Amino acid sequence: MIEFNSATKVYRSLLGRSVTAVEEFSLQVAEGEVFGIAGPNGAGKSTLISLMLGYFRPTAGSVSIAGLEPRSYVERNGIGYLSELMTINPAWTGEDALARFATLAGVPRQEVRRRVDTVIEQLGIAEHRAKKIKALSKGNLQRLGLAQALLRDEQVLILDEPTHGLDPIWTQRFRGIVESLRRPGRTIIIASHNLDELQRLADRVAIIDRGRLQRLVQTGYDQATETAGVYRLAVVSGADCMAAILPAATDLGGGEFQLPITSVAELNAALAKAIAAGVLVASVVPARSVLEQQFREAVGERG
Ligand code: ADP
Protein backbone atom coordinates (compact mmCIF):
# COMPACT_ATOMS: atom_id res chain seq x y z
CA MET A 1 0.00 0.00 0.00
CA ILE A 2 2.69 2.51 1.03
CA GLU A 3 6.15 2.03 -0.33
CA PHE A 4 9.40 3.87 0.25
CA ASN A 5 12.12 2.90 -2.15
CA SER A 6 15.56 4.20 -1.16
CA ALA A 7 13.91 7.54 -0.46
CA THR A 8 16.20 10.41 0.48
CA LYS A 9 15.13 13.92 1.37
CA VAL A 10 17.63 16.72 1.58
CA TYR A 11 16.47 20.15 2.75
CA ARG A 12 18.46 22.99 1.25
CA SER A 13 18.43 26.44 2.74
CA LEU A 14 18.80 29.63 0.71
CA LEU A 15 22.32 29.94 2.07
CA GLY A 16 23.18 26.61 0.49
CA ARG A 17 23.30 24.66 3.71
CA SER A 18 21.82 21.22 3.36
CA VAL A 19 20.35 18.77 5.86
CA THR A 20 19.73 15.14 4.95
CA ALA A 21 16.56 14.41 6.93
CA VAL A 22 15.79 11.00 5.43
CA GLU A 23 18.38 8.79 3.79
CA GLU A 24 18.07 5.70 1.61
CA PHE A 25 14.84 4.81 3.34
CA SER A 26 13.07 1.65 2.16
CA LEU A 27 9.91 0.29 3.66
CA GLN A 28 6.64 -1.35 2.65
CA VAL A 29 3.51 -0.96 4.72
CA ALA A 30 0.68 -3.29 3.81
CA GLU A 31 -3.05 -2.74 3.57
CA GLY A 32 -4.79 -3.58 6.81
CA GLU A 33 -1.71 -2.76 8.87
CA VAL A 34 -1.40 -0.47 11.84
CA PHE A 35 2.16 0.75 11.54
CA GLY A 36 4.16 2.70 14.09
CA ILE A 37 6.99 5.16 13.59
CA ALA A 38 9.24 5.82 16.56
CA GLY A 39 12.39 7.87 16.84
CA PRO A 40 13.98 10.65 18.85
CA ASN A 41 13.49 14.31 17.96
CA GLY A 42 15.08 15.18 14.66
CA ALA A 43 15.10 11.53 13.53
CA GLY A 44 13.11 12.33 10.39
CA LYS A 45 9.58 11.28 11.38
CA SER A 46 7.89 14.49 10.21
CA THR A 47 9.80 14.37 6.96
CA LEU A 48 8.60 10.80 6.33
CA ILE A 49 5.03 11.93 7.01
CA SER A 50 5.40 14.92 4.69
CA LEU A 51 6.66 12.57 1.97
CA MET A 52 3.60 10.33 2.43
CA LEU A 53 1.28 13.32 2.30
CA GLY A 54 2.92 14.45 -0.91
CA TYR A 55 4.00 17.81 0.52
CA PHE A 56 7.21 17.38 -1.41
CA ARG A 57 8.95 14.71 -3.42
CA PRO A 58 12.00 12.80 -2.28
CA THR A 59 15.31 14.25 -3.44
CA ALA A 60 16.23 10.73 -4.58
CA GLY A 61 14.43 7.40 -4.61
CA SER A 62 10.65 7.17 -4.58
CA VAL A 63 7.56 7.03 -2.41
CA SER A 64 4.25 5.61 -3.59
CA ILE A 65 0.80 4.89 -2.19
CA ALA A 66 -1.30 2.26 -3.94
CA GLY A 67 1.10 2.59 -6.84
CA LEU A 68 0.61 6.35 -7.20
CA GLU A 69 2.80 9.26 -6.29
CA PRO A 70 1.52 10.46 -2.91
CA ARG A 71 0.36 13.79 -4.36
CA SER A 72 -1.81 12.03 -6.94
CA TYR A 73 -3.05 9.56 -4.35
CA VAL A 74 -4.11 12.39 -2.01
CA GLU A 75 -5.85 14.23 -4.84
CA ARG A 76 -7.81 11.14 -5.79
CA ASN A 77 -8.52 9.52 -2.45
CA GLY A 78 -7.48 11.82 0.36
CA ILE A 79 -5.59 10.87 3.49
CA GLY A 80 -6.95 11.29 7.01
CA TYR A 81 -4.30 13.27 8.84
CA LEU A 82 -3.86 14.40 12.40
CA SER A 83 -0.97 16.82 12.50
CA GLU A 84 1.04 17.34 15.62
CA LEU A 85 0.40 21.04 15.45
CA MET A 86 -3.14 21.82 14.51
CA THR A 87 -4.26 25.41 14.63
CA ILE A 88 -7.95 26.22 14.48
CA ASN A 89 -9.54 29.63 14.64
CA PRO A 90 -10.18 30.07 18.40
CA ALA A 91 -13.51 31.79 17.79
CA TRP A 92 -15.06 28.81 15.97
CA THR A 93 -17.04 26.21 17.83
CA GLY A 94 -15.94 22.59 17.68
CA GLU A 95 -18.74 21.62 15.32
CA ASP A 96 -18.15 24.66 13.07
CA ALA A 97 -14.53 23.66 12.80
CA LEU A 98 -15.41 20.07 11.92
CA ALA A 99 -17.98 21.17 9.34
CA ARG A 100 -15.38 23.42 7.71
CA PHE A 101 -12.74 20.70 7.72
CA ALA A 102 -15.28 18.30 6.21
CA THR A 103 -16.06 20.77 3.44
CA LEU A 104 -12.36 21.37 2.83
CA ALA A 105 -11.77 17.62 2.69
CA GLY A 106 -14.40 17.34 -0.02
CA VAL A 107 -17.23 15.71 1.94
CA PRO A 108 -20.38 16.35 -0.16
CA ARG A 109 -22.49 19.14 1.33
CA GLN A 110 -25.48 16.94 2.12
CA GLU A 111 -23.26 14.54 4.06
CA VAL A 112 -21.33 17.05 6.15
CA ARG A 113 -23.72 17.06 9.10
CA ARG A 114 -23.94 13.29 9.27
CA ARG A 115 -20.18 12.82 9.12
CA VAL A 116 -19.61 15.53 11.74
CA ASP A 117 -22.15 13.87 14.04
CA THR A 118 -20.53 10.49 13.52
CA VAL A 119 -17.01 11.61 14.44
CA ILE A 120 -18.29 13.66 17.39
CA GLU A 121 -19.95 10.52 18.65
CA GLN A 122 -16.85 8.42 17.95
CA LEU A 123 -14.60 10.73 19.98
CA GLY A 124 -17.13 11.39 22.73
CA ILE A 125 -17.06 15.16 22.37
CA ALA A 126 -20.80 15.80 22.09
CA GLU A 127 -20.87 17.93 25.23
CA HIS A 128 -18.13 20.17 23.81
CA ARG A 129 -19.41 20.53 20.25
CA ALA A 130 -20.94 23.96 20.76
CA LYS A 131 -18.01 25.34 22.77
CA LYS A 132 -15.53 27.73 21.24
CA ILE A 133 -12.14 26.29 20.39
CA LYS A 134 -10.46 28.68 22.82
CA ALA A 135 -12.53 27.19 25.67
CA LEU A 136 -11.45 23.61 25.00
CA SER A 137 -8.86 21.81 27.12
CA LYS A 138 -5.77 20.39 25.44
CA GLY A 139 -7.18 16.87 25.65
CA ASN A 140 -10.50 17.88 24.08
CA LEU A 141 -8.67 19.76 21.34
CA GLN A 142 -6.68 16.63 20.60
CA ARG A 143 -9.90 14.64 20.41
CA LEU A 144 -11.29 17.23 18.03
CA GLY A 145 -8.13 16.86 15.96
CA LEU A 146 -8.64 13.12 15.82
CA ALA A 147 -12.31 13.58 14.92
CA GLN A 148 -11.16 15.82 12.07
CA ALA A 149 -8.81 13.10 10.78
CA LEU A 150 -11.70 10.63 10.61
CA LEU A 151 -14.14 12.88 8.76
CA ARG A 152 -13.78 11.24 5.40
CA ASP A 153 -13.29 7.70 6.60
CA GLU A 154 -10.26 7.37 4.36
CA GLN A 155 -8.25 4.26 3.53
CA VAL A 156 -5.02 5.83 4.73
CA LEU A 157 -4.81 7.49 8.13
CA ILE A 158 -1.70 9.21 9.42
CA LEU A 159 -1.74 10.17 13.06
CA ASP A 160 1.14 12.25 14.39
CA GLU A 161 1.43 12.00 18.18
CA PRO A 162 -2.28 11.15 18.51
CA THR A 163 -2.38 10.84 22.29
CA HIS A 164 -0.44 14.01 22.95
CA GLY A 165 -2.27 15.84 25.73
CA LEU A 166 -4.80 13.07 26.34
CA ASP A 167 -5.35 11.92 29.92
CA PRO A 168 -4.79 8.22 30.74
CA ILE A 169 -8.47 7.37 30.36
CA TRP A 170 -8.64 8.84 26.88
CA THR A 171 -5.29 7.36 25.96
CA GLN A 172 -6.83 4.01 26.80
CA ARG A 173 -9.98 4.81 24.83
CA PHE A 174 -7.87 5.93 21.93
CA ARG A 175 -6.60 2.36 21.67
CA GLY A 176 -10.18 1.23 21.31
CA ILE A 177 -10.78 3.85 18.64
CA VAL A 178 -7.76 2.70 16.62
CA GLU A 179 -8.84 -0.91 16.97
CA SER A 180 -12.30 0.05 15.68
CA LEU A 181 -10.71 1.85 12.73
CA ARG A 182 -8.66 -1.16 11.75
CA ARG A 183 -10.07 -2.82 8.67
CA PRO A 184 -8.86 -4.78 5.68
CA GLY A 185 -7.73 -2.36 3.04
CA ARG A 186 -7.01 0.46 5.44
CA THR A 187 -3.52 1.49 6.50
CA ILE A 188 -3.00 3.40 9.73
CA ILE A 189 0.33 5.08 10.44
CA ILE A 190 1.01 6.30 13.95
CA ALA A 191 4.06 8.38 14.84
CA SER A 192 4.52 8.50 18.56
CA HIS A 193 6.99 9.05 21.35
CA ASN A 194 4.96 6.67 23.43
CA LEU A 195 6.59 3.28 22.89
CA ASP A 196 4.16 1.51 25.16
CA GLU A 197 1.32 2.78 23.03
CA LEU A 198 2.98 1.69 19.79
CA GLN A 199 3.76 -1.69 21.30
CA ARG A 200 0.08 -2.19 22.02
CA LEU A 201 -1.41 -0.65 18.90
CA ALA A 202 0.90 -1.30 16.02
CA ASP A 203 1.56 -4.54 14.18
CA ARG A 204 5.04 -3.35 13.29
CA VAL A 205 7.11 -0.37 14.33
CA ALA A 206 9.90 1.32 12.41
CA ILE A 207 12.55 2.71 14.71
CA ILE A 208 14.25 5.52 12.89
CA ASP A 209 17.22 7.65 13.78
CA ARG A 210 19.33 10.08 11.79
CA GLY A 211 17.00 9.68 8.85
CA ARG A 212 17.59 5.97 8.56
CA LEU A 213 15.55 2.93 9.32
CA GLN A 214 17.37 1.40 12.28
CA ARG A 215 15.03 -1.46 13.06
CA LEU A 216 11.72 -2.90 12.08
CA VAL A 217 10.05 -4.45 15.11
CA GLN A 218 7.21 -6.91 14.91
CA THR A 219 5.35 -6.13 18.12
CA GLY A 220 3.15 -9.23 18.12
CA TYR A 221 1.28 -7.76 21.02
CA ASP A 222 -1.61 -9.81 22.23
CA GLN A 223 -3.30 -8.47 25.33
CA ALA A 224 -4.53 -11.90 26.40
CA THR A 225 -1.27 -13.71 26.13
CA GLU A 226 1.39 -11.01 26.49
CA THR A 227 3.82 -12.95 28.55
CA ALA A 228 7.49 -12.80 29.38
CA GLY A 229 8.69 -9.55 30.78
CA VAL A 230 9.69 -7.67 33.85
CA TYR A 231 7.05 -5.96 35.93
CA ARG A 232 7.52 -3.23 38.46
CA LEU A 233 5.39 -3.35 41.60
CA ALA A 234 4.93 -0.50 44.02
CA VAL A 235 3.72 -1.55 47.44
CA VAL A 236 2.37 0.73 50.11
CA SER A 237 2.82 -1.68 52.99
CA GLY A 238 4.27 -5.12 53.52
CA ALA A 239 7.51 -4.37 51.65
CA ASP A 240 9.52 -6.08 54.36
CA CYS A 241 7.87 -9.46 53.82
CA MET A 242 8.13 -9.41 50.01
CA ALA A 243 11.46 -11.29 50.03
CA ALA A 244 9.84 -14.19 51.85
CA ILE A 245 6.69 -14.24 49.68
CA LEU A 246 8.25 -13.59 46.28
CA PRO A 247 11.92 -14.53 46.38
CA ALA A 248 12.29 -13.75 42.66
CA ALA A 249 11.46 -10.07 43.20
CA THR A 250 14.32 -7.59 43.36
CA ASP A 251 13.94 -4.88 46.00
CA LEU A 252 14.56 -1.50 44.36
CA GLY A 253 13.96 0.39 47.58
CA GLY A 254 11.20 2.84 48.43
CA GLY A 255 8.55 0.13 48.24
CA GLU A 256 9.40 -0.71 44.58
CA PHE A 257 10.10 -4.21 43.37
CA GLN A 258 11.05 -5.68 40.03
CA LEU A 259 9.53 -9.03 39.19
CA PRO A 260 10.50 -11.23 36.23
CA ILE A 261 7.49 -13.10 34.92
CA THR A 262 6.95 -15.70 32.20
CA SER A 263 3.18 -15.50 31.86
CA VAL A 264 0.22 -13.37 32.84
CA ALA A 265 -1.04 -16.27 34.93
CA GLU A 266 2.23 -16.28 36.83
CA LEU A 267 1.99 -12.54 37.41
CA ASN A 268 -1.52 -12.90 38.80
CA ALA A 269 -0.51 -15.82 41.01
CA ALA A 270 2.40 -13.77 42.42
CA LEU A 271 0.11 -10.82 43.09
CA ALA A 272 -2.50 -13.04 44.72
CA LYS A 273 0.16 -14.52 46.97
CA ALA A 274 1.46 -11.09 48.01
CA ILE A 275 -2.02 -9.69 48.58
CA ALA A 276 -3.08 -12.75 50.58
CA ALA A 277 -0.03 -12.22 52.80
CA GLY A 278 -1.21 -8.68 53.53
CA VAL A 279 0.93 -6.73 51.07
CA LEU A 280 -0.86 -3.63 49.81
CA VAL A 281 -0.04 -3.19 46.11
CA ALA A 282 -0.31 0.34 44.71
CA SER A 283 0.68 -0.30 41.10
CA VAL A 284 1.86 -2.93 38.64
CA VAL A 285 3.48 -1.79 35.39
CA PRO A 286 5.56 -3.53 32.74
CA ALA A 287 9.11 -2.38 33.43
CA ARG A 288 10.22 -2.58 29.85
CA SER A 289 8.49 -3.60 26.69
CA VAL A 290 10.11 -5.44 23.84
CA LEU A 291 9.86 -2.30 21.75
CA GLU A 292 11.42 -0.13 24.41
CA GLN A 293 14.34 -2.48 24.64
CA GLN A 294 14.81 -2.47 20.87
CA PHE A 295 14.53 1.30 20.84
CA ARG A 296 17.22 1.68 23.47
CA GLU A 297 19.51 -0.66 21.62
CA ALA A 298 18.96 1.13 18.32
CA VAL A 299 18.94 4.72 19.48
CA GLY A 300 20.72 4.60 22.83
CA GLU A 301 19.88 7.01 25.58
CA ARG A 302 19.26 9.93 23.22
CA GLY A 303 15.68 8.71 22.69
P1 ADP B 1 11.34 14.50 13.62
O2 ADP B 1 9.96 14.70 13.11
O3 ADP B 1 11.70 13.07 13.83
O4 ADP B 1 11.66 15.34 14.83
P5 ADP B 1 12.15 15.96 11.24
O6 ADP B 1 11.72 15.18 10.05
O7 ADP B 1 11.33 17.14 11.63
O8 ADP B 1 12.36 14.98 12.48
O9 ADP B 1 13.62 16.49 10.99
C10 ADP B 1 14.71 15.68 10.52
C11 ADP B 1 15.92 16.57 10.29
O12 ADP B 1 15.66 17.49 9.23
C13 ADP B 1 16.31 17.42 11.49
O14 ADP B 1 17.70 17.54 11.52
C15 ADP B 1 15.67 18.76 11.18
O16 ADP B 1 16.39 19.80 11.79
C17 ADP B 1 15.79 18.83 9.68
N18 ADP B 1 14.69 19.59 9.07
C19 ADP B 1 13.36 19.36 9.18
N20 ADP B 1 12.64 20.23 8.45
C21 ADP B 1 13.54 21.07 7.86
C22 ADP B 1 13.44 22.19 6.97
N23 ADP B 1 12.26 22.63 6.51
N24 ADP B 1 14.59 22.80 6.58
C25 ADP B 1 15.79 22.35 7.02
N26 ADP B 1 15.97 21.31 7.84
C27 ADP B 1 14.86 20.66 8.26
Please report, for the domain that includes residue 136, its CATH number.
3.40.50.300
Same-domain status, 42 and 190: yes
Report the residue among 47, 208, 209, 212 best suited for mutation to probe ligand 1: largest number of ligand atoms under 8 A from its CB. 47
pLDDT of residue 300: 77
Predicted confidence (pLDDT) at residue 92 exceeds the cutoff of 70: yes
Q: 191 in ligand 1 pocket by Cβ < 6 Å?
A: no
- Euclidean distance between CA atoms 69 and 136, whole angstroms: 37
Question: Which residues are paired to 4 by β-bridges?
Answer: 27, 63
Domain-terminating residue out of 186, 218, 250: 218
Mean pLDDT, rounded, of the chain: 89
Tell me how crowded residue 111 is: count the other CB atoms within 10 A of its CB: 13
pLDDT at 86: 72
Please say if the pLDDT value at position 277 is more than 70. Answer: yes
Residues 82 and 194 reside in one and the same domain: yes
> Cα–Cα–Cα angle for 108, 109, 114, nearest 5°?
90
Reported as type and span, the H/E element at residue 167 is none
Looking at the domain assignment, is residue 224 inside a domain? no
- What one-character-per-residue DSSP string does 95-109 give? HHHHHHHHHHTT--H
Check the CA dihedral 259-265-268-273 and report its sign.
negative
Cα(184) to centroid of ligand 1, in Å? Answer: 33
CA of 25 to the centre of ligand 1 (A): 15
**Range 203-210 average pLDDT:** 94
Do 85 and 201 belong together in one domain?
yes
Is 223 part of a structural domain of the chain?
Answer: no
CA–centroid distance for 271 within its chain: 30
Verify whether ligand 1 is closer than 6 Å to residue 280 (CB atom). no
Q: Are 154 and 234 in the same domain?
A: no
Residues 181 and 249 placed together within one structural domain of the fold? no
Structural contact between residues 216 and 268, judged by C-beta atoms closer than 8 angstroms: no
Q: Are residues 196 and 266 in the same domain?
A: no
Q: What is the pLDDT of residue 301?
A: 63
Neighbours of 258 (CB within 10 A): 15
Amino acid of residue 249:
A
CA 15 to chain centre: 36
Strands, E assignment, the chain: 2-12, 18-29, 34-38, 60-65, 80-82, 156-160, 187-191, 204-209, 212-218, 229-237, 250-253, 256-261, 280-286
Q: Do 249 and 210 share a structural domain?
A: no
The atom number, within ligand 1, closest to the CA of 22 reads 10
Closest CA to 78 of 182, 152, 183: 152
> Does residue 159 sit in the same domain as residue 253?
no
Is the CB of 45 inside a 6 Å radius of any atom of ligand 1?
yes
Q: What Å distances lie between residue 132 and 91, 135, 136, 137, 276, CA to CA?
A: 6, 5, 7, 11, 52
Classify the phi-psi angles of 16: left when phi > 0, otherwise alpha if psi is within -120 to 50, otherwise beta: left
> How many structural domains does the chain have?
2
Q: Which residue range is the domain that position 87 belongs to?
A: 2-218
Q: Within a 13 Å sphere around the CA of 151, how many CA atoms are in the beta-carbon half? A: 27
Residue 278 within any structural domain of the chain: yes
> Quick one: pLDDT band at residue 224, thresholds 50, 70, 90?
very low
Judge if the beta carbon of residue 14 lies within 6 A of ligand 1. no
In a shared domain, residues 78 and 137: yes
Distance CA 111, CA 91 (A): 24
Residue 219, classed as helix, strand or coil, is coil
Lowest mean pLDDT among 100-104, 156-160, 165-169: 165-169
Name the residue with higher pLDDT: 181 or 188. 188
Q: Tell me if 117 is assigned to some domain.
A: yes
Give the ligand 1 atom nearest the CA of 47: 6
**β-strands 212-218, 204-209: how paired?**
antiparallel
Do residue 156 and residue 243 come from a single domain? no
Check residue 49 and give its pLDDT: 97
Residue 30 has pLDDT above 50, yes or no: yes
Task: Name the domain boundary from 185, 218, 251.
Answer: 218
Q: CA 53, CA 74: separation in Å to the nearest integer?
A: 7
Please write the tens of the pLDDT for every residue from 48-88: 999 999 999 999 999 999 999 999 999 999 999 998 777 78
242-272 pLDDT tens trace: 999 999 999 989 999 988 887 788 889 999 9
> Is residue 203, in this structure, part of any structural domain at all?
yes
303 lines ligand 1 (CB under 6 A): no
42 and 139 fall within a common domain: yes
Q: Give residue 156 CA to ligand 1 midpoint distance, Å.
A: 23
Please work out whether the CB of residue 19 comes within 6 Å of at least one atom of ligand 1: yes
Taking CA atoms only, the protein residue closest to ligand 1 atom 14 is: 42
The domain boundary, picked from 157, 192, 218, lies at 218
Residue nearest to atom 6 of ligand 1 (CA): 44
Q: Are 63 and 24 in contact (CB under 8 A)?
A: no
Could you tell me if residue 31 is inside a domain?
yes
| Cβ–ligand 1 contact at 11 (below 6 Å) | yes
Question: Does the C-beta of 38 come closer than 6 Å to ligand 1?
Answer: no
Weakest mean pLDDT among 48-52, 119-123, 295-299? 295-299
In this structure, are 108 and 85 located in the same domain?
yes
CA–centroid distance, 18 to ligand 1, in Å, is 11
Mean pLDDT value of segment 124-147 = 90
